[in-house]
Amino acid sequence: MLRVLDGERLFPPPIWLMRQAGRYLPEYKATRAEAGGFLDLCYSPKLATEVTLQPIRRFGFDAAILFSDILVVPHALGQTVWFAEGEGPRLEPVTLDGLGGLDLDGMLGRLEPVLETVERIRAALPAETALLGFCGAPWTIATYMIAGRGTPDQGPARRAALTDPEGFARLMDLLVDASVAYLVAQLKAGADAVQIFDTWAGSLDDEGFERWAIQPVARIVAGVRAVVPGARIIGFPKGAGARLPEYVRRTGITAVGLDWQVPAVFARDNVQTLVPVQGNLDPLRMVVGGEALDRGVDHVLEMLGHGPLIFNLGHGITPDASPEAVSRLVARVRAARL
C-alpha cells in the first residue's frame, strides 16, 4: 500500500475498502451491540480496535482504516452530536455568529480515546498491513454542522457560504486548524497515511469548489507536512468529476480517491498521470455480486491497473453487501493478471 502511495505500480494492486469495518459483517454487529451507542463505540479504544481489525482477520486487506466517524471533530469541538438509529447523524446546528462556543484548544484532549485506538491498532496489525487515519474535509463537516444532519443538496451550507462568506470562512478556518491538529496526532500515534473525505465536494459550483474544497484541503496538506514532512495524504473529493486534475495539482495530495461516476478512461489519462489513484468500483456491484461484480472488478483493473492503483470502491461498502461478495472481490483482484 505505501509503495503505491509513493508512486510505484504494483500488480495485482493493494486492496482496502471504504467502510470495510461495518454493518455488513456479523462480527461488527455483535461488537456494536456490546458498545451501545455509535459514539460509545467510536470512543472505546478496545471496541474500536476490535472492529478495525475484524475485516483484516477475515479478508486480509492490505490496509486497515481507523474505525471512527468524521463527526467526532465537531463533537470534540463542543457541538452536540448524536446518532439516531436508522436515521444517521444529528447535530445541534451552529450559526456563523455563534462559533465562539466551539473550543479548538480542548479538542485533542476529547479525542484522546481515538488516538489511543490508533496506537492499539498499529500495535496489533501485521507489519505488512498499512494503517490509515482520516478526517472529514472542512466543507463536508461544515454541511453537517450548519444543517444539523445530512441533506440532499447541502443547501443550508451552500446558502450560508453565499450569504455570509466571511462568516463561513471563519468556520472553515477553524475546521482547517482542527483537521491539521487531528491528522498530525493520528500520524504521530501510528497511522501510516491519512485520508481526507470530502463526501459533498460535488455539490459546489466552480467558485465554491475553488474556495471551499481546494483551498482548505491545500492548507491542511501544507499544515500537516509542516509537522510531519512527507506525510502521505489521500484526498477523496466525491463528485469532483472533471475538476479532479486541478484538485490534485492545487492541493498537493499524495493520491486521490475516485468515486464510481468518474470515467476510468478520464482518470487514467488525466489523473493517474499526476498521482496514484484509488477506487472506483460501484458499491452496488458488491450488493449484486456474481458476474456483475466480476465485470466491474475486471474493468477497474484493465483501465487503471497499468499505473499506480489502490483497489477500492467508489464510496463506502453498504450494509446490504455480503461478506461473500467481499471475499469474491479480494480473490479476483489477487488472482488478476494483465
- Told to judge if 250 belongs to the known catalytic residues of this protein, a careful annotator would answer no
Q: What CATH number does the domain containing 311 carry?
A: 3.20.20.210
Spell out where the chain has E strands: 63-65, 81-84, 88-91, 130-136, 193-198, 233-237, 255-258, 277-281, 309-313
- Per DSSP (E only), the strands in 123-232 are 130-136, 193-198
Q: Supply the mean pLDDT for the chain.
A: 97
- Catalytic: which of 32, 120, 219, 243? 32
Q: What is the pLDDT of residue 84?
A: 82
- Determine the Cα–Cα distance for residues 261 and 202; give it in Å rounded to an integer: 11
pLDDT tens for 196-254 read: 999 999 999 999 999 999 999 999 999 999 999 999 999 999 999 999 999 999 999 99
- Between CA 278 and CA 260 the distance in angstroms is 11
Provide the domain count of the chain.
1
By the 8 A CB rule, do 259 and 292 touch?
no
Peptide bond into 270 cis (omega under 30): no
Kindly provide the b/e burial profile for residues 85-112, where b requires at least 16 CB atoms within 10 angstroms of the residue's own CB: eeeebbbeebebeeeeebeeeebbebbe
CA–CA gap between residue 309 and residue 267 (Å, rounded): 11
Q: Is 144 a catalytic residue?
A: yes
Contact 248, 221 (CB under 8 A): no
The one catalytic residue in 24, 28, 43, 144 is: 144
pTM > 0.95: yes or no = yes
CB 112 within 8 A of CB 182: no
Other beta carbons within 10 Å of 31: 20
290 Rama sector, left if φ>0, alpha if ψ -120 to 50, beta otherwise: left
Q: Decide: 120 and 105 in contact? Cβ < 8 Å.
A: no
The CA distance from 307 to 319, in Å, is 31
Catalytic, out of 19, 122, 158, 232: 19
Q: Tell me whether residue 19 is one of the annotated catalytic residues.
A: yes
What does the alpha-carbon distance between residue 313 and residue 310 come to, in Å, rounded to a whole number? Answer: 10
The three grid cell numbers given for residue 202, joined into one nine-digit string: 460535488
Give the cell for residue 210.
Answer: 475553488
Q: Say what the pLDDT of residue 338 is.
A: 87
Phi, psi angles (nearest 5°) of residue 184: -60, -45
| pLDDT value, residue 93 | 97
Query: Containing domain of residue 107, as a range?
Result: 2-335
Looking at residue 211, its amino acid is R
103 is catalytic: no
Residue of 9, 58, 69, 250 marked catalytic: 69
Residue 27 has which C-alpha cell?
462480527
Asked whether 182 and 233 are in contact (CB, 8 A), the reply is no
Regions of the chain with pLDDT less than 70:
none
Residue-wise DSSP of 1-13: -HHHHTT---SSP
pLDDT tens sequence across 253-273:
999 999 999 999 999 999 999
In degrees and rounded to multiples of 5, residue 272 shows phi and psi of: -65, -20
Among 9, 23, 149, 211, which one carries the catalytic annotation?
A: 23
